[in-house]
Amino acid sequence: MLFSNPNAKREAYPQSLQKIMSIKQANESRNWLSKWNQLSATATPLWDLRDLAKQLNVEKICVKDESYRSPLGSFKALGAPIALVRLILQLFPEKNFNAQALLAGDYQGQLGSFTAISATDGNHGRALAAAAQSVGCRCVIVLHANVSVEREEAIAAYGAEIVRIAGNYDESVERAATLARENQWYVVSDTSYEGYEIIPRDVMQGYGTIAAEIIEVSEASQREGRPFTHIFLQGGVGGMAAGLASYFWELYGVDRPTLVVVEPSQADCLYQSALNGQASNATGSVDSVMAGLACGETSPLAWKFLGESVDHFMLISDDDAVAAMRVLAAGSGNDVPVVGGESGVAGLAGLINLAGAPADAARVGLNKGSRVLIINTEGATAPSVYEELVGESGESVQKRQQSWLSIHKH
Ligand SMILES: Cc1ncc(COP(=O)(O)O)c(C=O)c1O
């Protein structure tokens, strides 16, 4: 399902938005993260899938591969540490902490009384737990009923205390807020709500690193103008899409690429927001194999950025996502095999759907000249789910990737 946003604008990045998120702040976040030992020291790969581009009738498909970002498995490793560090700097100005040194653990022992808490679908909580462990503070993570035990264990491995509730994601967000109020803990959430915007803003700003790296490698090689005509961004609460949309909008202004946001049809909060012209809730069951995208409530702060910059909103099925996982994993003569998790491949699944629906593809302006950017936001973050869905383990796909790369070195 495709909805073309009547409120999408082609104009310079508004100053009102630049005051909230900017390339300058994104670059500062990137610098702070540059020494964190939970992140890859080099930029994540930008794969050029030539066979797939031919098959889908576009000029280029590049996949920014965030499965390489961190042992934490996803791009979320860029958000939580930044928000946590900015919060600690703000709460303890007298201590004169240095941001990089905080993440390096230089002040371990000085933050024992400070507790960070958040709800999560998995990836954000894992990143927050790891960041808390690095800086040396306590971390409590609230999990809803559908978060797998595998994801829970991955979070607990970083020393976080787990609170499990019977309800869904949105109820876990509420529980985290209540626990914080009762115990004087600090919520470090990736979604905003009324009166709570600074921290989710900092989380989103951390994601700007992805855009910065893409620009650095792709712009130099581009003959003219923008390296990409289309960018597909998957949406949960909208934070990742907003962080990247803001960066590309500020950089390219009226010439920004066409932006397409893709969600599971059961968790269609951003799609509904576009239909209603304001941040809205999902209408479906909010239960999807795409665990990271199974969010029922749009982040109002993210919507401030998406409502006027995203040209099209799409819904996909769980089967579409599984098919896209298999396409990426398979690779081909010219295409490297890639480990893309359930939520990681949603953008690609959206593109594949459009390629099979010529009228919709025409509406989005996809054609033989299109240069498409996809973000693979996670690897096999739930390894057993990945193996079951793809029919091969993430490690095995990774091994095939290594042998493909050794053959295609030049
Ligand atoms: C792998 C992955 N991709 C995309 C998203 C969507 O991010 P957001 O909720 O900021 O829209 C998530 C969220 O958890 C995720 O885990």
Predicted confidence (pLDDT) at residue 225 exceeds the cutoff of 70: no
Predicted confidence (pLDDT) at residue 254 exceeds the cutoff of 80: yes
- Give the model confidence (pLDDT) of 183-198 as tens digits: 999 999 999 988 999 9
* Mean pLDDT of all residues belonging to the chain: 95
User: What pLDDT was estimated at residue 223?
Assistant: 54
CA atoms within 13 A on the CB side of 362: 3
CB atoms within 10 A of CB 195: 5
Instruction: Tell me if 340 sits within 8 A of 378, measured CB to CB.
Output: yes
- Give the model confidence (pLDDT) of 34-83 as tens digits: 989 999 999 999 999 999 999 999 999 999 999 999 999 999 999 999 99
Phi, psi of 403 (to 5 degrees): -70, -35
User: What pLDDT was estimated at residue 324?
Assistant: 98
Q: Which residues of 226-235 are buried (b: 16+ CB within 10 A; e: fewer)?
A: bbbbbbbbbb
Residue 144 CA, chain-centre distance (Å), reads 20
At 7, the pLDDT band (50, 70, 90 cuts) reads very high
At 222, the pLDDT band (50, 70, 90 cuts) reads low
Ligand 1 within 6 A of 400 CB? no
CA of 363 to the centre of ligand 1 (A): 26
Could you say which architecture CATH assigns to the domain 80-189? Answer: 3-Layer(aba) Sandwich (3.40)
Structure tokens at 372: 């498409």
Residue 395 CA, chain-centre distance (Å), reads 22
Ligand 1 within 6 A of 376 CB? no
Residue with the smallest CA separation from ligand 1 atom 9 is: 236
Which atom of ligand 1 is nearest to 241's Cα? 11
Q: Angle at CA 374, nearest 5°, toward 148 and 291?
A: 15
Residue with the smallest CA separation from ligand 1 atom 16 is: 292
Q: Where are the domains of the chain?
A: 2-73+204-407, 80-189
Which atom of ligand 1 is nearest to 207's Cα? 10
- How many angstroms separate the CA atoms of 157 and 91, rounded? 27
- How many angstroms separate the CA atoms of 240 and 213, rounded? 15
Query: Looking at the DSSP assignment, which residues form a beta bridge with residue 258?
Result: 230
Q: List helix spans (H) across 92-207.
A: 99-103, 123-135, 149-156, 169-183, 198-206
CA of 245 to the centre of ligand 1 (A): 14
User: What pLDDT was estimated at residue 409?
Assistant: 77
Which atom of ligand 1 is nearest to 190's Cα? 10
CATH number of 2-73+204-407: 3.40.50.1100
Share of the chain above pLDDT 90, in %: 92
User: What pLDDT was estimated at residue 220?
Assistant: 67
Structure tokens at 254: 């009226």
- Give the model confidence (pLDDT) of 322-367 as tens digits: 999 999 999 999 999 999 999 999 999 999 999 999 999 999 999 9
- How many angstroms separate the CA atoms of 367 and 361, rounded? 7
User: What pLDDT was estimated at residue 371?
Assistant: 96
CB proximity list for 164: less than 8 A, separation 6 or greater: 142, 143, 145, 152
Ligand 1 pocket: which of 234, 260, 270 to mutate (most atoms within 8 A of CB):
234
At 410, the pLDDT band (50, 70, 90 cuts) reads low
CB proximity list for 89: less than 8 A, separation 6 or greater: 97, 99, 102
H or E element: which one contains 231? strand 230-234
Query: Looking at the DSSP assignment, which residues form a beta bridge with residue 187?
Result: 117
- How many angstroms separate the CA atoms of 19 and 82, rounded? 18
CA of 372 to the centre of ligand 1 (A): 20
The structure's pTM equals 0.96
CA of 293 to the centre of ligand 1 (A): 6
- How many angstroms separate the CA atoms of 57 and 55, rounded? 6
Q: Where are the beta strands (DSSP E) in 265-366?
A: 312-316
Instruction: Tell me if 48 sits within 8 A of 78, measured CB to CB.
Output: no
> What is the identity of the amino acid at 380?
A
> What is the identity of the amino acid at 272?
Q
Predicted confidence (pLDDT) at residue 218 exceeds the cutoff of 90: no
Ligand 1 pocket: which of 68, 172, 240 to mutate (most atoms within 8 A of CB):
240
- Give the model confidence (pLDDT) of 260-302 as tens digits: 999 999 999 999 999 999 999 999 998 899 999 998 999 999 9
- Span 220-228, mean pLDDT? 71
At 224, the pLDDT band (50, 70, 90 cuts) reads low
> What is the identity of the amino acid at 58?
V
Hey, do 2-73+204-407 and 80-189 end up sharing a CATH topology, with the first three levels equal? yes
Q: Taking the alpha carbons of 374, 377, 381, 385 in that order, is the dihedral positive or negative?
A: negative
- How many angstroms separate the CA atoms of 74 and 398, rounded? 15
- How many angstroms separate the CA atoms of 58 and 75, rounded? 26
- Give the model confidence (pLDDT) of 121-171 as tens digits: 889 999 999 999 999 999 999 999 989 999 999 999 999 999 999 998 889
User: Which string of DSSP letters, residue by residue, matches 148-170?
Assistant: -HHHHHHHHTTT-EEEE-SS-HH
User: What pLDDT was estimated at residue 35?
Assistant: 85
Predicted confidence (pLDDT) at residue 12 exceeds the cutoff of 80: yes
Ligand 1 within 6 A of 235 CB? yes
Structure tokens at 76: 């979320």
At 221, the pLDDT band (50, 70, 90 cuts) reads low
Give whole-number Cα distances, 307 to 141, 214, 228, 304, in Å: 30, 23, 21, 6
User: What pLDDT was estimated at residue 251?
Assistant: 95
Predicted confidence (pLDDT) at residue 20 exceeds the cutoff of 80: yes
CA of 123 to the centre of ligand 1 (A): 8
Ligand 1 within 6 A of 76 CB? yes
- How many angstroms separate the CA atoms of 226 and 68, rounded? 25
- Are β-strands 312-316 and 2-4 bridged in parallel, bridged antiparallel, or unpaired? antiparallel
8 or 168: whose pLDDT is higher?
A: 8
Q: Which residues are catalytically annotated? A: 76, 121
- Give the model confidence (pLDDT) of 367-378 as tens digits: 999 999 999 999
User: What pLDDT was estimated at residue 226?
Assistant: 80
